[in-house]
Amino acid sequence: MNKIFPGLVSVLALTVISCSANNNKPAASDTSLLPVETKKPNTDYKPAFAGQTRIAGVKTHTVYETKILTKKLNSPWAIASLPDGRFLITQKGGTMRIASQDGTLSEPITGLPRVNDDGQGGLLGLTLDPAFSSNRMVYWVFSEKTPEGNLTAVAKGRLSASEKMIENARVIYRATPAHNSSLHYGGRILFDKTGNLFVSTGERSDLETRPQAQYLNSALGKVIRITPEGKPAAGNPFEHKADARPELYSYGHRNVQSLALNPATGDLWEAEFGPRGGDELNLIRPGKNYGWPVITYGIEYSGPKIGDGIQVHQGMEQPVYYWDPVISPSGMAFYSGDLIPEWKNNLFIGSLSGTHIDRLLIKNNRVVGEERLLSGEGQRFRDVTQGRDGALYAITDQGRLYRIGK
């Protein structure tokens, strides 16, 4: 791919095998394409079912454009579309910015609680209230330093009319126990269709906290579901279970930095970091156990197996898809626009260590094709969202904002 400079549009004219725009079913000749992953895996572990990893590659048929709108963001972490077509963006150090579609940036928005931005911490995911146009409420996740240690916290506040500050910011939830680690905070947040919030957490990485992903009395390594006031949402799977936290929705996760609702089905999907190998894409069902650290398709960074080195265990869910080597999946979004019809209902995932945007075709809750977009940019893609104009917008750790569309 040609190097792209600010204001210069690079046209990605990809001659391809066609895909159905309506049901994501690849044409028969798609299956002859090699998987996009060509590197040797870290293990000789076998997938639990065909197509669970290294699925056949696909290519986008539509001619689309990629444009860098700005390079001036400071370690952006999450991006959300505002009603007027602009974007609200969190920056790891503790401020937000508004970006216009031409790349113009606001001054940093202040008024947020102080973040602990050591390591993987900082100002993380954000989402807008469904009634943002009238109430201007914003919800976000951040890493908070407390006397007991660091933790993942959720806060809310109102974007002022001047757009210079967040008013009446307050913490509504803390994922305890706190721990003196600067790793694996999770940090994504989104509204479900009932007006409650899904929030992801990590198990904080250390060997001593890793088992807490399996503990129902801990908020570490979980997807939680809370009200806009931070209380456990009604109908959660463990709300009447003794010795279990009522806010828990699913458990057995390592470090979830990806959450998205499928607009066609309403299903919740997540992606999480594996260790050395074993990044996962999961379809989240309430009350289910996703296995970490008992089962995994990865190994320790130093090489040994994790636990008993098993990948299947009764009562634990299999990932719909996994990557080995890892791509480090960060923010993700399903595409529901009409600008590029063949992308309809495809899942797009920002890849950090993989330095690309991963496009997945999903049919009957199985991945049936994979493509890597913008792999020549050398960027760590932190988050991706769909704009009001039907294009995809992505932010990178290096401070770029991209538009991908026609």
Distances (CA, A) of 73 to 79, 106, 138: 11, 10, 20
Catalytic: 356? no
Nearest-angstrom CA–CA distance, 185 and 272: 11
Identify the H or E element spanning 133.
Answer: helix 132-135
Nearest-angstrom CA–CA distance, 108 and 163: 9
- Kindly state the tokens that stand for 323: 């990557």
Identify the H or E element spanning 369.
Answer: strand 366-373
CB 289 within 8 A of CB 214: yes
Nearest-angstrom CA–CA distance, 101 and 87: 8
Nearest-angstrom CA–CA distance, 157 and 268: 25
Question: Phi/psi at 135 (nearest 5 deg)?
Answer: -110, -15
User: How many CB atoms sit inside 10 A of residue 403's CB?
Assistant: 20
Nearest-angstrom CA–CA distance, 366 and 13: 28
* β-sheet bridge partners, residue 128: 138
Nearest-angstrom CA–CA distance, 67 and 61: 19
Nearest-angstrom CA–CA distance, 406 and 139: 31
Task: Break the chain down into helix, strand, coil percent, rounded to 5.
Answer: 5, 40, 55
Number of residues written out for the chain: 406
- Out of 184, 240, 253, 356, pick the active-site residue: 184
CA-based radius of gyration for the chain: 20
Q: Which residues are identified as catalytic? A: 184
